[in-house]
Chain A
Amino acid sequence: IAGITQAPTSQILAAGRRMTLRCTQDMRHNAMYWYRQDLGLGLRLIHYSNTAGTTGKGEVPDGYSVSRANTDDFPLTLASAVPSQTSVYFCASSAGDSTEAFFGQGTRLTVV
């Protein structure tokens, strides 16, 4: 089934640990995004990639890094997790500007 897959679906992480959230899509979309969603706030963009080999910073990039080595994969890394990074993380992809975004099922991350 075509779509976008995230792993893990949930994780409890000790503060200070490094963690990579995985995201893979098979729709050959150029653009990919990482968002975090916190209660009472809208989705906030962490990092994005308009095409393989390029990445950009979103609204809340501090403490996160991404890479886009190929079209399909867009991992998000927390170098040293802090409790404020407790959130639900969504990966999304789209074919291009002003086209609908497809979301992964989300990763619920708790940093303790």
Chain B
Amino acid sequence: GQNIDQPTEMTATEGAIVQINCTYQTSGFNGLFWYQQHAGEAPTFLSYNVLDGLEEKGRFSSFLSRSKGYSYLLLKELQMKDSASYLCAVADSNYQLIWGAGTKLIIKP
């Protein structure tokens, strides 16, 4: 079966760095997405990785290792507004997105 695993919840301190991991087992791979979802709102796109390595976009970076079925989202200089759920999704061989359950990130002052 297809499976995306990510931690259910993480806590970090304002101004710090946090890494959210995602491991996947899917039938085929056509890219990995990270989305941010604030409580009661729609998911919004953060990043896309299809090749191994690190993609940096401001305070957010995303890493992919296809051989390990592994990705992480790195958030630097955490702000209170970063409190949200972070969703990992993989496009399978049919380009259908398989979603993880999301990681709820709690930022403390």
Contact = CB atoms under 8 A, between A and B. Distances in A.
Max chain B Cβ within 10 angstroms of own Cβ: one of A58, A90, A103: A103
Contacts of B101: 40-42
Interface string B61-103: 0000000000000000000000000010101000111111110
Nearest to B47: A100
A100 B43 contact: no
A29 to B, nearest CB: 13
Contact of A48 (B4, B30, B41, B96): B96
A41 B89 CA distance: 13
Contacts of B48: 98, 100
Interface residues of B, number: 22
A42 B43 contact: no
B45 A97 contact: no
A90 B95 CA distance: 19
Contact of A100 (B33, B41, B99, B100): B33
Given A43-B87, A45-B96, A45-B97, A100 B102 contact: no
A105 interface: yes
Interface of B: 4, 30-31, 33, 41-45, 48, 50, 87, 89, 91, 95-102
- The 3 A-B residue pairs with the shortest CB-CB distance in the complex, in nearest-first order: A42-B99, A103-B42, A97-B95
23 contacts: A35-B99, A40-B101, A42-B4, A42-B99, A42-B100, A42-B101, A43-B43, A43-B87, A43-B99, A44-B99, A48-B96, A58-B96, A90-B42, A90-B43, A98-B30, A98-B31, A98-B91, A100-B45, A101-B97, A102-B45, A103-B43, A104-B42, A105-B41
